[in-house]
Structures are given as C-alpha cells and as structure tokens.
C-alpha cells in the first residue's frame, strides 16, 4: 500500500483532546512575568516514538538584566539551576559574548523577556563557534539532556541582523552566525518563542534527538535596501526524531531544510511565506561524505510566495563552484521514504521541484557527471493551490540524472494551476514517470 512506508515511522494520530494549548505568560503585581512549562504534544503525528518524560523542576533562578552584556549572568544561572531547576528570563537582555551551553541537564528556561545579540561583527567573527558543514557559525550552542525552552508566545530572541546583511552584501565571505543552535540536545522542547532578524539561518538542529519544536514565530525584515539572505527557518543536521509543528515563518530562504543525516522527522502545521520551500537538501555537497535523509513526513502545511513548495535538491557528481557559499558536489548517499501530504500552495514558482543538479548552472556537466545521490520512495500527496506567473503554465519540475538514481517517484491528487488557468504542465525527465498520476509532462 502507498501509506505503508509512512506507517513504518509515523505513529497514529493522537486524540484531539490530548493536545494542550501553550499557556500564556502572566505579569504579577510586582511586575515579574511568570509562566509554567507548557503541556504541548506532538500532534497529530510524532516521529515514531514518544518523547522522553521531563520531571517537574524544583527550584528557580531569576536573571536580572544589567544594562550591559548579560551573557555571564545567564551562564551562571544555568549552572546554578542545572539538574532540576528553571531559569527565568523576564527582562530585556543583551548578549555580547559567546555562550557554550552544551552542559545542560534537566533544566527549563522560561523566556518571557527579550534577548538581543549585539551586532559587533568584529567580535563575533573572531569568537563565534564554527561548524564544518557549509561554514556555519553561531552566537551560542545549547545541548544536553532534558532541556525545555519556552516563551509563552511573548518571549523574543533578536539577532540584530541588519548590519550583518549589509556587510554580507559587500563581502560574500562573511561568516554570519546562526541565531539559535541546538547542538547535542537529547530530549527536550523549544516552544512559544518569537525569533526575529537572524543574521543567517534562524535555527540549526545538529547532533540531536527527540526534540519537539512548536508554536514558534519567525520574522525577518530589512529596514534598508539590502535584502536579508539565507534566513532558513530550521535546518536539521545529523539529527533523529525531531518534530517541528504549528509555527508561522516569514523569511527569505528554506522554511525547513533537511540537511545530511536527518532521519525520522515530522514537519506539520506550518504556515510559510516568502521562502524557498520545505526542502530535502542540499545533499552530496562534500566528496568525502555519505549523506542520508530518510523517513521524513511533511504533513498539512501551507507555502506562499516562495520559489518552491516541496523541494528535493542534491548536487551533481562532480565538484563545482557557483559562489563562496555555494560550491561542492561529488558526494554520495541517498534520499529515501519522503512524504509530502496535504500541502497548500499560493503563488509559488514551482509547486514541486526535484533537482539532481543543484548548485550547477552547466546542465551538460550534470549529464556527464550525474549525481551520486539516489532518490527513492518519494510521495507527493494531496497538493492544491496556484503557482506564480514565473513559469506559467508550467507548475513543477522533476528532473533526475538517470532512472538508476531516481526510483519510485509518486504523485497523487495534485490540483495545481498557474494564474492563467491554462492546463498545467510539468517538466519531467530522467526517471520513470508512471507514478505521477494525471501529470502532463513536458521535456523542458
């Protein structure tokens, strides 16, 4: 059966009554804002297993804002309240120095105030944490076991990205930090937070497992002529058992991107706007690495004003260079058991894109050196809506290197049209198209 591959890793829907709303923050007569940990569950699907239990916390540590760099005070509070406490951040804080928070164990962070990172580019580029993958850097990294961060819908994390975007416009080698890096978190949640103006990606979930992310708002807005670049909502990397749900994202790059070794992940109930889609990849960028993305379920999401709705992107079989931050190819691996189901599209350039020649404008080179990445067991189910006028009447493109590299690609119940209302066309090549129900395929 078609759904059999999904059932292998996605649990049955929970009862609707079991999903609790996120509690809102309240302010006492003394002016202190308080909030209890929200009782939010993965709904309607989880990643195939229940999230670990998180015991009640027994002590509180409130951090007073200093008017200067509050990084040291926040770090001290997390040490003091580690192993069973809650750190309360209910004021306006500034962080101007790097924070390694990967030591956490059984601790909550209640953020009902605002955290703003300084835009001291000279300091950050000389001190930020570095990751080998795609030259990623971060202000801080958070990890450990049984950690819950929650904001009750009022907590804010501000990346002060304007200066970074303007500098990047004149210096494409600038390594801009990611706003929120979860590195080595095993069991926990991130909920009810407003994230604004990241210099680069908003979130990287790396080397982590069993994490629920819910009720997040992401917004990016440039006040100048320079457009914010590479502001992905979430990127997962070497992580398993992640749920991202019930969030609103207004950004300028991938809404969610499944990077190498992302497995057993559910994305559900997102409203994405202005992005590059919910994307598998890019993959196969590095010659000496074997990339896997497997068991991904993208359910009941909407995408508006984007380059793509659903997207799978892998590099060709030879190293290529397009820009300082966009070069690579020749890596191997596979993409398997990916399902996009119930997907509303509005004004997206492509409703669906499958691309085995990512990062390379020379299509002849891709034909000579086909991708080393295989793509198989892919399901696009129940899509509806409209594309933009950019490619009208073409509404999607599915182009593979060869039938050996792309197998069992399926589409059912697809009702997508261009703004002209003309009969929709699909660019399809390099694989067996018999699984594309009702597609009118053209070569280019």
User: What amino acid positions are annotated as catalytic residues?
Assistant: 276
**Residue 57 to residue 105: CA distance in whole angstroms:** 11
3-class secondary structure, 278:
strand
Task: Write the CA distances from 335 to 48, 71, 258, 327, integer angstroms.
Answer: 19, 40, 10, 20
Close Cβ partners of 73 (under 8 Å, ≥ 6 residues apart): 63, 64, 66
3-class secondary structure, 21:
coil
Close Cβ partners of 172 (under 8 Å, ≥ 6 residues apart): 323, 324, 325
| Sign of the dihedral through C-alpha 92, 100, 270, 306 | positive
HSE toward the beta carbon, residue 369, CA cutoff 13 A? 17
Structure tokens at 92: 């306006």
């Amino acid at each position: 059966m078609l759904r059999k591959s999904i059932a292998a890793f996605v649990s049955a829907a929970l009862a609707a009554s079991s999903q609790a709303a996120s509690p809102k923050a309240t302010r006492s007569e003394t002016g202190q804002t308080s909030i209890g940990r929200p009782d939010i569950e993965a709904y309607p699907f989880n990643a195939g297993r229940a999230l670990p239990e998180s015991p009640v916390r027994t002590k509180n540590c409130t951090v007073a804002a200093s008017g200067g760099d509050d990084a040291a005070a926040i770090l001290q509070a997390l040490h003091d309240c580690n192993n069973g406490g809650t750190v309360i951040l209910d004021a306006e804080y500034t962080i101007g120095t790097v924070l390694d928070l990967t030591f956490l164990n059984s601790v909550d962070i209640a953020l009902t105030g605002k955290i703003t990172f300084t835009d001291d580019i000279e300091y950050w580029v000389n001190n930020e944490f570095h990751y080998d993958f795609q030259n990623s850097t971060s202000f801080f990294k958070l990890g450990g076991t049984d950690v819950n961060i929650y904001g009750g819908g009022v907590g804010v994390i501000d990346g002060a990205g304007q200066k970074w975007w303007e500098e990047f416009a004149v210096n494409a080698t600038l390594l801009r930090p990611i706003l929120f890096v979860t590195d080595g978190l095993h069991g926990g949640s991130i909920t009810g937070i407003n994230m604004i103006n990241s210099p680069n990606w908003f979130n990287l979930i790396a080397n982590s497992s069993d994490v629920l992310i819910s009720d997040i708002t992401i917004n990016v807005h440039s006040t100048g002529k320079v457009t914010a670049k590479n502001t992905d909502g979430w990127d997962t990397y070497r992580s398993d058992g992640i749920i991202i749900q019930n969030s609103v994202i207004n950004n300028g790059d991938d809404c969610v991107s499944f990077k190498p070794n992302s497995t057993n992940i559910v994305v559900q109930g997102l409203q994405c706007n202005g992005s590059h889609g919910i994307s598998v990849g890019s993959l196969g960028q590095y010659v000496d690495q074997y990339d896997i993305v497997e068991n991904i379920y993208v359910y009941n999401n909407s995408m508006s004003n984007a380059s793509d709705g659903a997207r799978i992107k892998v590099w060709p079989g030879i190293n290529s260079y397009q820009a300082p931050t966009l070069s690579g190819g020749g890596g191997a691996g596979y993409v398997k058991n990916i399902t996009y189901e119930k997907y509303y599209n509005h004004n997206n350039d492509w409703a669906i894109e499958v691309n085995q020649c990512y990062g390379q404008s020379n299509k002849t080179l891709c034909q000579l050196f086909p991708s080393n990445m295989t793509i198989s067991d892919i399901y696009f189910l129940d899509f509806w809506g409209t594309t933009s006028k950019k490619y009208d009447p073409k509404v999607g493109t599915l182009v593979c290197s060869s039938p050996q590299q792309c197998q069992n690609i399926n589409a059912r119940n697809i009702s997508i049209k261009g703004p002209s209302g003309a009969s929709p066309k699909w660019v399809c090549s390099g694989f067996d198209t018999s699984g594309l129900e009702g597609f009118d395929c053209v070569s280019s």
